[in-house]
Amino acid sequence: MKRLLLLFLTVLLALTASAQKSKKFVHGTLIPPAVEPRIIAVETTSSSLILSVRENGSVFQLHFGTKVNETEFAAIPSYAGRYGNGAPAYPATGGRFLGEPALHLRYADGMHNTELHYIGHETTEAAGVKTTTVRLLDYVTKLRVDLVYEAYPEEDVILTHTRIYNAGDKPVTLLSYASGAMTFTSDRYLLTHVNGSWAQEMQVESELLTHHLKVLEDRRGVQNTQLGNPAFLLSLGTSELSETEGEVIAGALAWSGNWRLSFERDAENRLTVLGGISPFASEYPLKADASFRTPDMIWTYSDKGAGQASRNLHRWARRYGVYGGGEVNPILLNSWEGAYFTFTTETLLRMIDDAASMGLEMFVLDDGWFGNKYPRNSDNAALGDWQVNAAKLPEGIDHIAQYAHSKGLKFGIWIEPEMVNPKSELAEKHPEWVVQSPGREIYTERTQWVLDLSNPAVQDFVFGVFDSVMQLSPAIDYIKWDCNRPIESFGSPYLGAEQDRFYIEYVQGFYKVMERIRAKYPSVLVQCCSSGGGRVDYGSLKYFNEVWTSDDTDGFERVFMQYGTSLFYPACVMAAHVSTVPNHQSRNVTPLKFRFDVAAQGRLGLELQPRYLSSEELAYVNRCVASYKEFRDVVFNGDLYRLGTPYGNDFYGMMYVSEDKSRAVVYTYCLRFRQLACDGVPFRLQGLDPDRKYRVVEQNLGDADRPDGAPVTASCWWGNGRSWSGSFLASGAFNPILPSLYSSAVFVLEAE
Least separation in angstroms between CB 40 and ligand DGJ:
45
Q: Are 101 and 260 in contact (CB under 8 A)?
A: no
Quote the CA–CA distance of 296 and 548 in Å, as a whole number. Answer: 23
Q: Please, are residues 644 and 653 in contact by the beta-carbon 8 Å criterion?
A: yes
Q: Which is nearer to ligand DGJ, 362 or 643 (CB)?
A: 362
- Between 414 and 628, CB nearer to ligand DGJ: 414
Minimum CB distance to ligand DGJ smaller for 537 or for 551: 551
Residue type present at position 20 = Q
Helix axes 615-637, 592-599, angle to 10 degrees: 20
Residue 498 has φ and ψ, to the nearest 5°, of: -95, 50
Q: Give the shortest CB-368-to-ligand DGJ separation in angstroms.
A: 8
Give the up-direction half-sphere exposure of residue 194: CA atoms within 13 A in the CB hemisphere.
33
Least separation in angstroms between CB 364 and ligand DGJ: 9
- Residue 80: CB minimum distance to ligand DGJ, A: 57
| 556 contacts 588 by C-beta, under 8 angstroms | yes
> What stretches of 521-614 show up as alpha helix (H) in DSSP?
555-566, 592-599
Q: 152 or 343, CB closer to ligand DGJ?
A: 343
| DSSP element (H, E) containing 540 | none
CA distance 577 to 532: 12
C-alpha to C-alpha distance for 560 and 201, rounded to whole angstroms: 9
Rank residues 90 and 414 by Cβ distance to ligand DGJ and give the closer one. 414
Residue 631: CB atoms within 10 A of its CB come to: 22
Please check whether residue 279 is in contact with residue 285, taking contact to mean a CB–CB distance below 8 angstroms: no
- Contact footprint for ligand DGJ (CB under 6 A): 336, 366-367, 414, 482, 484, 529, 531-532, 548, 551
Taking alpha carbons only, the member of 288, 293, 278 closest to residue 500 is 278
Indicate the burial class of 147 (C-beta count within 10 angstroms; 0-12, 13-18, 19 or more).
Answer: buried
Question: CB 51 → ligand DGJ: shortest distance, Å?
Answer: 43
Q: Rounded to whole angstroms, how far apart are CA atoms 82 and 556?
A: 52
Our CB check for ligand DGJ shows the closer of 416 and 698 to be 416
CB of 546 or CB of 551, closer to ligand DGJ: 551
Q: How many Å apart are CA 145 and CA 141, to the nearest integer?
A: 12
Residue nearest ligand DGJ, CB atom distance: 367
- Least distance (Å) between residue 336 CB and ligand DGJ: 5
CB 607 to ligand DGJ: min, Å = 8
DSSP state of 101: -
- Cα separation, 118 vs 658, in Å, equals 44
CB of 367 to ligand DGJ, least distance (A): 4
Q: Considering only CA atoms, which of 329, 330, 340, 253 is closest in space to residue 551?
A: 340
Q: Which of 51, 60, 55, 59 is nearest to 35 (CA)?
A: 55
Strand pairing class (410-415; 478-481): parallel
Phi-psi region of 220 (alpha: psi -120 to 50; beta: other; left: phi over 0): alpha
Angle at alpha carbon of residue 563, lines to 310 and 529, rounded to 5°: 95
> Which residue, 157 or 364, is less far from ligand DGJ as judged by CB?
364
**Nearer Cβ to ligand DGJ, position 480 or 706?**
480
Q: Which of 66, 60, 175 is nearest to 110 (CA)?
A: 175
- Say if residues 357 and 351 touch (Cβ distance below 8 Å): no
CB of 79 to ligand DGJ, least distance (A): 55
Identify the active-site residue in 138, 218, 367, 482.
482
Reply yes or no on whether 597 is catalytic. Answer: no
- Bridge partners (DSSP) of residue 193 are 205
Q: How far is the CB of 603 from ligand DGJ (least distance, A)?
A: 14
Please state, in angstroms and rounded to a whole number, the distance separating the CA atoms of residues 286 and 470: 38
Q: Which of 551, 554, 639, 705 is an active site residue?
A: 551
Nearer to ligand DGJ, 484 or 601 (CB): 484
385: annotated active-site residue: no
First to last CA, the chain: 116
Decide: 216 and 275 in contact? Cβ < 8 Å: no
Q: Give the burial class of 270: count Cβ atoms within 10 A of its Cβ; 0-12 exposed, 13-18 middle, 19 or more buried.
A: middle
Cβ-based nearer residue to ligand DGJ, 2 or 587:
587
Cβ 342 to ligand DGJ, closest distance in Å? 13
Residues annotated as part of the active site: 482, 551
